[in-house]
Amino acid sequence: MFIDERGCQETMETFCQDLAKMLRTIRLNCGYTQQAVAKNLGMDRSTYSYYEIGKTLPDIIVLKKLAVIFDIPPALFFYPERFAQGQPQLG
């Protein structure tokens, strides 16, 4: 199925929103502050906070590091809509 430019933009926006919600939920479930996660990633808290509000997307290296920090399978980040629907067991 081909997605036109508008559909692709909407899909990307939805992905960003779902990933942002997922990152916040997982972080809170793990009991971490944004500052603690950002420090583990070697970045400013404001940079990490942009991920949680959907302003920017983390790159693949950051996602891999987040998977280690949160003790979850990295592939989970590629399907944030599944997480939003059922919130799979973490850890």
Q: What is the pLDDT of residues 2-59, one digit of tens each?
A: 455 565 566 888 899 999 999 999 999 999 999 999 999 999 999 999 999 999 999 9
Alpha carbon distance 53, 50 (integer Å): 5
Q: What value does the CA radius of gyration of the chain take, rounded to a whole number of Å?
A: 13
Band (77; pLDDT cuts 50, 70, 90): very high
pLDDT of residue 66: 98
Q: What does the block give as tokens for 76?
A: 């989970």
Tell me which of 81 and 46 has the higher pLDDT: 46
DSSP letter for 78, please: G
Q: In the structure, how many helices (H) and strands (E) does the chain have?
A: 5, 0
Alpha carbon distance 41, 7 (integer Å): 33
What global pTM score does this model have? 0.82
Alpha carbon distance 51, 2 (integer Å): 28
Q: Are 51 and 23 in contact, with CB atoms under 8 Å apart? A: yes
pLDDT of residue 33: 98
Alpha carbon distance 47, 84 (integer Å): 23
pLDDT of residue 91: 45
